[in-house]
Amino acid sequence: MQFIDKFRIPAIFCAISVILCALVGWPFADMGVTDDGPYVLMAHTLASTGHIIYNGWAAPMLGWQLYLGAAFDKLFGISFTSVRMSTLLVAAMLAFLLERTYVRLNLSERNATIGTLAFVLFPLYLMLSVTFLTDICGLFAMVVCLYGCLRAVQASTERSAIGWLCFAVVANAVCGTARQISWLGVLVMVPSALWLLRAQRRVLIAGLAATFAGALFIVACMHWLARQPYVQHEGLLPKSFPVAHILAEHLHVFLDIPFQLLPIFVLFLPQVFKSRPRVLTISLALIAMYIFLAIHHLPSRRFVVLEPVDGDTIGFNASLMFNYPGLQGDVPRIVNRGTQIVLTIVSFGSLVGLILSLLRLRTLPLRETASVHVSWKEAGVLLVPFTLVYPLLLLDRAASSGIYDRYPLVLLMIAIPFLVRFYQERIRSQLPLASMVLVAIMAVCSITTVHNTFALDRARVVMAAELISQGIPDTAVDNGWEYNLGVELRHANHLNDPRIVFPADAYKPRSPQSAGCSMFGYEDEPHIHPLYSISFDPNACYGPAPFAPVPYSRWFALRPDALYVVRAVPDRR
């Protein structure tokens, strides 16, 4: 055990697992994946000019993430892949740090490793690791701050505690420049640690000074960002406050958590069958009612869905792809309805099992642990305030565009140590083999999601090149909003978004779409006037156009698939 602890082998294993699983999926495509295309182009510009120039898509500051992406451009050549590999490096470092953080939160080495793998090998995390979105870098900022705070609370000397607090502030302030919400580390997590250390006067004074300096840095960064042209402006609070809609969005996020952490939640499923017959009957009836509502197309179906989520989501879904790309036709499904029902029953049954375990807390025996790094109370003081404040900063998104499943990623990371530690201390000291099996199954799904997403995107790039070679301008083709963002930025210096407030005339309302195929992202891309659209269905819109289809690979699909060119406007011949 000393050898393992000295060389951090479990943490290294977690980091290597992220890299290997991501690369097996072959995450290479010369186009944007969901929102990251404009961010990648900003990294290219920084590498070429040495300046950060926003292009109308960024609400995150991007900060150090841009410089890391630009450095990879310089080292490996300017490409989408070079920039994205910088995120994969951060994702691997984060996996290493997360495993060590979980150990500090009093999980055994084995349990911490399984908990970490359950998080980092889930499709959402793995897919984000091979994009240039800000979620991984923002999460890294919060985890490194948490680790610093834990080390400060556990420090044996005041000098060491002060050093770790300063580390937490500096690391979170700098790394938080990727995604502003990550600064909650400085603003909430560090003050929580200071509350635990308030009896040590020198530590308290030094920590308050460091926190104040970090807050000044944040104010300076926000002032600088507000002066940059072509930055999307988002408020802290929504302009309108549709209470029912906001509550429904947050409820949807909550109901999605059991599936996202299924290798951990499933540990509590046996508790359902140990309950009284009446409790078991009521639980099964509620789950059956939920499934009935999800299957039938009711008005509430946006928030009552089967697992994996079968709605407008950016993460893991029934097509085993990352995001719905805005192409014409129905997105091909891989996960059938029967499998979704089973996954929903297991996910919600596990949630009920957890609730029953918490209600039976006093009757569950307390198991002794070899060492206690932090008590439950200390862990709660460090993490509960952060957990309560974080959803409040999502209110604006909840009221407008909605909360995508990647936004609460940090809350999943926080839930794992509490769930595993509760299981470890009250039910069984070691996580069972079933958890490891489920982690492996999720890893396979993650690799498949990476493969299917990038295989589709490579086909879109090939299709676009073929049309251009036949004299079709790129602005005459709707190749899905992700690809279209890059096309628009080849013809303009910014996207046409109403959230841009500086310069004042940046946004120009676009006339409504004329008759023809509906183009997702039409408002943002005024230079694109499609005559043709790329489609999953050869008969979509106004029927097939005289161009050859492009096949692409989909793992676990029953048949191979292809992309087709269809007419976006009627054929006037």
- Give pLDDT, residue 217: 97
- Give pLDDT, residue 305: 73
Is 357 within 8 Å of 427 (Cβ atoms)?
yes
Task: Please state, in angstroms and rounded to a whole number, the distance separating the CA atoms of residues 497 and 508.
Answer: 8
Separation in Å, CA 127 to CA 20, 273, 324, 534 = 13, 35, 14, 23
Angle CA(56)–CA(58)–CA(59) in degrees, nearest 5? 120
- Give pLDDT, residue 573: 60
- Give pLDDT, residue 416: 96
Q: Write the secondary structure of 226-243 as one string of H (helix), E (strand) and C (coil).
A: HCCCCCECCCCCCCCCCH
pLDDT tens over the chain, length 573 residues: 444 455 689 999 999 999 999 999 999 999 999 889 999 999 999 999 999 999 999 789 999 999 999 999 999 999 999 999 999 999 999 999 999 999 999 999 999 999 999 999 999 999 999 999 999 999 999 999 999 999 999 999 999 999 999 999 999 999 999 999 999 999 999 999 999 999 999 999 999 999 999 999 999 999 999 999 999 887 666 667 777 777 777 777 777 888 889 999 999 999 888 878 887 788 888 888 888 877 775 555 455 677 776 554 555 677 777 776 789 988 888 888 888 888 889 998 999 999 998 888 777 777 766 566 789 999 999 999 999 999 888 877 766 777 778 888 999 999 999 999 999 999 999 999 888 999 999 999 999 999 999 999 999 999 999 999 999 999 999 999 999 999 999 999 999 988 888 898 889 988 888 766 889 888 999 999 999 999 999 999 999 999 999 999 999 887 778 999 999 988 766
* DSSP H or E stretch at residue 550: strand 550-552
Task: Please state, in angstroms and rounded to a whole number, the distance separating the CA atoms of residues 508 and 174.
Answer: 35
Task: Please state, in angstroms and rounded to a whole number, the distance separating the CA atoms of residues 264 and 416.
Answer: 7
- Give pLDDT, residue 238: 65
- Give pLDDT, residue 3: 47
